[in-house]
A and B are shown apart, each in its own frame.
Chain A
Amino acid sequence: MSEAKNKTLLSVDSLEVSFFTYAGEVKAVRGISYELEEGEVMGIVGESGSGKSVSSYGLMGIIPEPGKIVSGSIQFDGKEITKLAEKEMQKIRGKDVSMIFQDPMTSLNPVYTVGNQIDESLRKHTDLNKQQRKDRIIELFTLVGINQPEKRMNQYPHEFSGGMRQRVMIAMALACNPKLLIADEPTTALDVTIQAQIVELMKELKDKINMSIIFITHDLGVVSEICDKVAVMYAGNIIERGSIDDIFYNPKHPYTKGLLKSVPKLNADDHERLVPIEGSPVDLINPPKGCAFAPRCENCMKICLTEKPPVCHVGENHESVCWLNVKEEFEKESGK
């Protein structure tokens, strides 16, 4: 598993996803690109409606109707998966790529025992016999910290608490040793103390099985605990991406800066006033012509309203999509 540590596992290139509704085409994801290496954890942050979940549904091939991948490519482990037939996709889904959903209360089937539900992917993707599968489930339950696995695997979801259900979901996702785990807001529905348990668990598992994780969340705190790098999404675009230190200590895009400033700090001694980002998120049926963030941006220039900003390399592996960065670069060069 760990022969080449820096092998690229996933590369997404200008992916576009749209929903064709009666009201018009909703451009949920408008051309995003990123790469993920083996064993790496990438966070995707953004507000609701920024396209962070939809973009990852694309990786699983489970974009709900009436959504479609309009263009772009997704290379997973050297294979192009946007063009795969459903049958082919089913072989990858749950085996090489698996997902943890946001709400553990609704994403388990209430009429099957949890053991049965985990067993399903083992039956589909492995040649293990019944006893081996049972052993595997017990092993998984122990791994994610569920006590008395023999007894618990025969129980139904309603007999589990929220945190425990999320552990079941994680066990299910890990069943076939996936190379990539997509965690879609896995802790949002949980209390802080339970959230801490789950985050610790995922950190531990990551080191144990060396898988890549895409961690989707809106909580910057959780991101700073678990991720190696971060992509910030706004209105269907990745507006900034970079290593975790870049994003937190040297943010370049005004939206990222605003996001960091609008969270109250726990360790602040005095009462600091919060700096909100004024206005509200854009309408994706009619996205603005220029930069999507321009109407809310305090540094908005003329060009922002008419032209889409280019991707600027503001540092090593640090990209920001903003005209300000272009301006700074230009000023730097002409200053020399």
Chain B
Amino acid sequence: MSQTNNNENLIEIKGLKKYFPIKEGFFKTKNVKAVDDVSLFIKKGETLGLVGESGCGKTTLGRTILRLHEPTEGQIIYNGKDITHEDMLPYRRKMQIIFQDPYASLDPRMTVGDIIGEPLDIHKMYGSKEERKEKIYKLLETVGLNKEHANRFPHEFSGGQRQRVGIARALAVEPEFIVCDEPVSALDVSIQAQVVNMLEDLQAERGFTYLFIAHDLSVVKHISNRIGVMYLGHLVELTDSHELYKNPMHPYTQTLLSAIPIADPKVSRSKKRIVLSGDIPSPLNPPSGCAFRTRCPHATEICSQVTPELKEYDKGHFAACHNLVK
């Protein structure tokens, strides 16, 4: 793949694979190929969106980049340095994650102040107790909560507020790169917009680089500069977000886009929809060749034999499909 190799890239991953072994009987193990040979790069200050159905490996990819899962194969390069086998502690200060479920990702027995303070403790980021307190209050303020909230427990907060606590915790160590793993999926529509706006403001202010994972394509399109589409562990298309919506190349991206319900009755009445038959295959038993061929309307013989490679078809527009003729 001819992705450019310059020092503007904050994150670069090459041939990343993550297999989860599953025991079948005493001796046999089988691999769930959650992420299978994914390469991409994220430029400094940009937001890369990652979309796909549940089980396509987008969350696993995000976590593997942070080495919350150890990669099975491949390279993770952060700021020009290969961190695949490095000690992660110093890098945890630079790379953080916002988790999907604000109801499950906060320790119910810790106060919000301690949840936000924990990363400060670990990285010894304060000189005195006073300073720690100041820092926590400032973080709470940044995410639109106030300092009275520091002594409360997570159950006293609504979903949107909890997600703000999760964001404050990620911001505590002043990171450069944040993986946002479905940060708004569990929230109501009116609250979603609040959190999305806050993430955008923070990025504009502090120059964060985001990897934004979600299954809601309209939110991803709204926030991302570039978008990658995943299917069954493979990256099937990667391009600029406007380009992806205007000119989707991969048949999976096309169906995904046509499946989105649009909140506009006139548009949805006139829209012609490509409805996919069937479900996503099990990653334990992925189809041979192209993973999408079992549901693809254009599948031909070669699709079942050779796994298509991600190729650049247009400037900066990558897709993995045999039937795309340039």
Which segment of B7-15, B252-260, B312-320 sits at the interface?
B252-260
A264 partner residues in chain B, CB cutoff 8 A? 193, 196, 218-219, 221-222
B261 and A225 form a contact (CB under 8 A): yes
Partner of B260, one of A249, A266, A273, A281: A266
A192 touches B197 (CB 8 A): no
Q: Contact at B259–A277, with CB atoms within 8 Å?
A: no
Which residues of A sit under 8 angstroms from B222, Cβ to Cβ? 264, 271, 274
Q: How many residues of B contact A (CB 8 A)?
A: 41
Binds A, one of B37-45, B72-80, B183-191: B183-191
Number of interface residues of A (CB under 8 A): 46
The residue from B53, B190, B261, B276 contacting A224, defined by CB atoms under 8 A apart: B261
In B241-282, the 8 Å CB interface with A consists of: 242, 245, 255-256, 258-265, 267-268, 273, 275-277, 279-280
B130 to chain A, nearest CB (A): 31
A266 and B279 in contact, given A258-B190, A276-B191 (Cβ under 8 angstroms)? no
The DSSP consensus for interface residues of chain B is helix
Q: Is B262 a contact of A47 with CB atoms below 8 Å?
A: no
Contact with B along A207-233 (1 / 0, CB 8 A): 000000000001111111100000000
- The answer to whether A195 touches B261 (Cβ under 8 A) is yes
User: B54 an interface residue at 8 Å Cβ cutoff?
Assistant: yes
- Do A260 and B158 have beta carbons less than 8 Å apart? no
Question: Is A164's CB under 8 angstroms from B218's CB?
Answer: no
Report the separation of the CA atoms of residues A195 and B261 in the bound assembly, to the nearest whole angstrom: 9
A280 to B189, CA, bound (A): 11
A259 touches B261 (CB 8 A): no
Question: Does A48 make an interface contact (CB < 8 A)?
Answer: yes
Q: Is the CB of A196 within 8 A of B259?
A: yes
Taking a contact as CB atoms under 8 Å apart, the answer to whether A277 and B190 are in contact is yes
Selected from A162, A200, A224, A276, the residue in CB contact (under 8 A) with B197 is A276
* Interface bits B201-245 vs A (CB < 8 Å: 1, else 0): 000000000000001011101100000000000000000001001
Residue A181 CB within 8 A of the other chain: no
How many Å from the CB of A34 to the closest CB on chain B? 19
- B300 within 8 Å of A (CB atoms): no
A225 contacts which chain B residues (CB < 8 A)? 261-262, 268
| Closest chain B residue to A201, Cβ basis | B275
CA distance A265 to B218 in the complex (A): 6
The reply to whether A193 and B189 form a contact with Cβ atoms under 8 Å apart is no
Determine if B215 and A192 form an interchain contact, defined as CB atoms under 8 angstroms apart: yes
Q: Is A262 an interface residue (CB 8 A)?
A: yes
Taking CB atoms, residues of chain B closer than 8 Å to A301 are: none
Does B307 count as interface, using CB distance less than 8 angstroms?
Answer: no
List 4 additional A-B contacts (Cβ < 8 Å) besides A161-B279, A274-B196, A276-B192: A164-B279, A194-B53, A195-B261, A225-B262
The 6 closest A-B pairs by CB, nearest first: A221-B261, A276-B193, A264-B222, A196-B259, A262-B193, A220-B263
A-B pairs with beta carbons under 8 Å apart, 13 shown: A47-B191, A196-B261, A200-B273, A221-B260, A221-B262, A224-B268, A248-B265, A262-B189, A266-B218, A273-B197, A280-B158, A280-B160, A280-B191
